[in-house]
Amino acid sequence: MRLVLVGTSHHHAPVELRERVALDRERGSTLAERLADGGGEAVVLSTCNRTELYVAAVDIDAAERAAVAALAELEAEVEPALYRLRDHAAALHLFRVAAGLDSLVPGEGEILGQVRTAHDAGTTRTLLDRVFRQALHAGRKVRAQTAIGETPASVSSAAAALAEQVFGDLDGRSILLVGAGKISEQAARNLLSRRARIAFVANRTLDHAADLAERFGAEPLPLDRLEEHLATADVVVSSTSAPGYVLDAPAVERALRTRRGRQLLLIDLAVPRDLDPAIHELDGCYLYDIDDLEAIVSETLVGRRGEAERAEAIVAAEAEKFREWQASLDVVPAIASLRARAEEIREAELRKAEGLLGRLDESQRNAVEAITSQIVNKLLHLPTVRMKQAAAAADGVIYADAVRHLFGLGEDER
């Protein structure tokens, strides 16, 4: 089995393209099942920053074509923005993703949970289960052994930093949250740390809005009352899973008439986007989407370059372990066949000596069994070790073929 990755991310495609290939958990799981049909394996990782398809298959070229076709089905224009990686390169990329090193905000913590969720929703067997578990291990190791995750460690914290840049001081500024999920809660906490006031929480499910609003002393709202409260808000932060816009330009334009020239900052953290891009054209409105946060993020990297280098070293070491494990798969069948042939010969010779062995008592027969087994194991120990070492050095297939030829392994089947 070989590993292939096909995907796109914020490095290669703007948000307006990424949102067209974004998949929720259910659709991602369905696509993974489809790509794994016929004995393969597949995992779909889809976040605000990326949509990536990880596929393990015997026919790696066919698997890559199927993955490209699946993304092109969602959006034909995405194909030029796709990257394709295989085996060690694909694993290294996944490990960097899980460690937060490939995120819009390097070191952000949400991605580790997203990788775990994708793994759970995928169709995995030996290879993808191994690479995803090792990626999660690498991500946890980076967070434990480096300070790469220090503030701002998420898109939410970067959004709060942006709001502070726009207004200079957030003390007493009124915040309207759209969406009541984890990202909205994190945004609220970051804004509160800068002395802003969470005034309203709007959500499609009012009970969820009420739960979050209660934590921050805010007023819960249904989405259909969103427009009327734009008049008093200073900042709107939106992060829902809605398939279309929850707020369009005409609604914001109507609200502006009652604001008496006060500026309105809108931050869209959702993919697909929640806020109509045309809002940015309205006088007094400043709309930023998830891609616009890159400038803020880059400012935070200067002091964390050393931590990033340490994190990269950890990730590279973990990826090398995976490479060695995957390479060893090429020689495992040959080793198993060699041991099976040796055991077959041992048992056959013992049967030939049955006339002599029949005079021995049970303890003596057991001793003969143990001694002959030890002889076989000791003879095969060094060849087994050398074959595994050769596999890690990319010579494994040559060694495996030589062993098959020298010992006639597989000739009976032929």
Residues labelled catalytic: 48
Using a 10 angstrom Cβ sphere, with 0-12 exposed, 13-18 middle and 19 or more buried, the burial of residue 366 is: exposed
The answer for residues whose C-beta is within 8 angstroms of residue 232's C-beta and 6 or more apart is: 174, 199
409, β-bridge pairs: none
Please report the DSSP string for 153-192 in residue order. Answer: -SHHHHHHHHHHHHHS--TT-EEEEE--SHHHHHHHHHHH
| Cα→Cα distances 115→179, 290, 321, Å | 22, 19, 19
CA torsion through residues 229, 232, 236, 239, sign: negative
**Residue that is written with structure tokens 């707020």 in the block:** 247
- The angle, 0 to 180 degrees and rounded to 10, between the axes of the packed helices 396-407 and 332-352 is 20
* Preceding amide of 277 cis, omega within 30: no
